[in-house]
Amino acid sequence: MKEALPYPHQVDYVWLAVDDQHHVAIFFTGGEGPIPATAHSTNESAYQIEEQALALPEKSDVRLHVSYPRLEDYVAMAKRGVYALDWGDVHRTRSAEKGIYELVAEPLMAITLEQLPAELRLIVEATHLVGIKFSQSAQSGIKVCRTVP
């Protein structure tokens, strides 16, 4: 059995998940955001999930929910139907931290788990955020417990 990878501190690691509506989201950690154990594997392809998601065809217009100096990565994902969330606390003082992933870019035509290529679908379906609807996360964000050491 392979040992779990350590938390990728100081690396803007990305992970994917599926919600109760079978919509797909990508989470940018900023090197500090929590990562569910199911989304952080020993599989090397986990480090290539951003490239795999970017290989999906563009299919959607995008609604932005925050203003960052550089939004290209989030917009690129949302154009492919993938909700893009960020751990914004990496840019805040400790007293201003929110402890949530915030929706940055929302696809107007979201992709579903069933529309993903098989290899990417296996990665995504491993992390089902029960009770979550990405389409409703703009106001409240998404709280994720860190389960990776």
- Asked if the model's pLDDT at residue 91 lies above 80, the reply is no
What pLDDT sits at residue 2?
A: 43
- Asked if the model's pLDDT at residue 120 lies above 80, the reply is yes
What pLDDT sits at residue 13?
A: 80
Is 42 a domain residue?
yes
Cα distance between residue 82 and residue 105, in whole Å: 9
Number of structural domains, the chain?
1
Is 146 a domain residue?
no
Cβ proximity of 9 and 98 under 8 Å: no
| pLDDT mean across residues, the chain | 85
Q: For strands 102-107 and 24-28, give the pairing.
A: unpaired
Is 8 a domain residue?
no
Is 6 a domain residue?
no
Is 149 a domain residue?
no
What pLDDT sits at residue 147?
A: 60
Is 121 a domain residue?
yes
- The DSSP result for 52-98, as a single string, is HHHTSPP---EEE-S--S--HHHHHHHHTT-EEEE-GGGGS-GGG--
Is 2 a domain residue?
no
What pLDDT sits at residue 117?
A: 95
Domain of residue 36, residue span = 14-140
Write the burial class of residue 54 (CB in 10 Å: 0-12 exposed, 13-18 middle, 19+ buried). Answer: middle
Is 71 a domain residue?
yes
Q: Enter the tokens of residue 18.
A: 């599926």
Q: What is the pLDDT of residues 2-56, one digit of tens each?
A: 445 555 555 678 899 999 999 999 999 888 888 888 887 645 455 688 889 999 9
Residues forming beta bridges with residue 15, ordered by sequence position: 27
